[in-house]
Amino acid sequence: QTGLFTYDPGFTSTASCESALTYIDGDEGVLLHRGYPIGQLAEGSSFMEVCYLLLNGELPSQAELTDFTRTITRHTMVHEQLSSFFSGFRRDAHPMAVMCGVVGALSAFYHDSTDISDPDQRRISAHRLIAKMPTIAAMAYKYSVGQPFVYPRNDLSYAGNFLRMTFGVPAEEYEVIPAVEKAMDRIFILHADHEQNASTSTVRLAGSSGANPFACIAAGIACLWGPAHGGANEAALNMLKEIGTPDKIPHYIARAKDKNDPFRLMGFGHRVYKNYDPRATVMQKTVREVFDALKVTDPLFETALRLEEIALNDPYFVEKKLFPNVDFYSGIILSAIGFPTTMFTVLFALARTVGWVAQWNEMISDPGQKIGRPRQLYTGPTQRDYVPLSQR
């Protein structure tokens, strides 16, 4: 019994690890980062505050936040030689393929911060990854559209810098719209960490062997790319585009319920949440704020709202406890801001990097840490003797 929560011994016996970063109660739809509810963090804090909280365990004072933000800002530039890695990709390569390759390449650039036994070097690697992901993500987008890379600036916020590096062009100054900057920052907060999801578990398993931290994050990016995981935000918007208008929803609901049809409602369901994903609640509210700020709308938002309403009243989804998750509405916002669907999961990876590195550091700094080694239930043949080829 600690504070609000009691621990079910049966549960911990199946847990893959112990962690103090994030707590999820899937039945109640609760998500806490170091004890703070995601709704309060999304409304009242900034992504830099949440990064500091996840890395250090406490919310920063103003002086600590200023110092941390300055540190991250001063790591946003990438080595000029890293730019040449992009030219090895086709211009139409999926940006997640580029992210896997370029972030993995960072493992060859830094030899002064990869002694993972040294907490100071682990901290520098964590700061470099958090700081450089927006720069690399923006470069991946620029490369895909054939525009020049835009360098980071030290006078902009984390989200503002990313928006300018992505959408700014040398020919004219890019104006960061405060409401869009705030929405971007909030979207980063909503994706920052999420307990032992597939990509975080990938980073932990890779890191447990003592592998290079930059290479471990590249492994996490690869896992996040899958449509069952972070790739669902891209798949969810593509699904809404395929559905089109609300009158087509019943056909797709029927397909989602048909066991013989591989179609699933993208952005719906979750391994842990058997209640509304608290991140989806904030995301839906943010759609309205961005639409108001940009004075735009999107008929797909109405389709999404109607789809949610129908699904939440359908016995199949009610019985299986399928609710919208973080990926259901995020694509609508990102599309309104101007990102192509292929960039949605890149943004997820950008934001989740702080969770990955915080979870990695928590594992590596545990003196009792051992290499991960999942076991299996063997279902193959029992032992038998080799049969020479001439007798087969």
Which parts of this chain interact with ligand SDX (CB under 6 A)? 194, 197, 228-230, 232, 256, 264-272, 320, 322, 325-327
Q: CA–CA separation, 240 vs 65, rounded Å?
A: 39
C-beta of 41: minimal distance to ligand SDX in Å? 14
> Reading across the β-sheet that carries 22-25, which strands appear in turn?
22-25, 30-33, 36-37
Of 208 and 359, CB closest to ligand SDX: 359
Active site residue 120: no
Q: Of 75, 127, 191, 270, which one is the catalytic site residue?
A: 270
Position with the least CB separation from ligand SDX: 269
Q: How far is CA 173 from CA 108, 168, 170, 336, in A?
A: 34, 7, 7, 21
Q: Of 185, 193, 277, 327, which one is the catalytic site residue?
A: 327
Of 218 and 280, CB closest to ligand SDX: 280
Active site residue 251: no
**Is 348 buried (19+), middle (13-18) or exposed (0-12) by CB count in 10 A?**
buried
C-beta of 281: minimal distance to ligand SDX in Å? 14
Nearest Cα to 43, choosing from 177, 190, 163, 157? 190
* DSSP state letter for 274: S
Q: How far is CA 336 from CA 269, 297, 298, 343, 350, in A?
A: 24, 8, 8, 13, 19
Nearest Cα to 279, choosing from 29, 4, 26? 29
Alpha carbon 280 to its chain centroid, in Å, reads: 14
C-beta of 127: minimal distance to ligand SDX in Å? 22
C-beta of 311: minimal distance to ligand SDX in Å? 9
Q: CA–CA separation, 141 vs 25, rounded Å?
A: 36
C-beta of 130: minimal distance to ligand SDX in Å? 17
Helices (H), 106-197: 119-145, 158-167, 178-190
Of 45 and 197, CB closest to ligand SDX: 197
C-beta of 272: minimal distance to ligand SDX in Å? 6
> What does the buried/exposed string (b/e) look like for 124-154 if buried means 16 or more CB atoms within 10 Å of the residue's CB?
bbbbbbbbbbbbbbbbbbbbbeeeebbebee
Place of tokens 């087509």: 248
Of 255 and 285, CB closest to ligand SDX: 255
Instruction: Give the catalytic positions in this structure.
Output: 270, 327
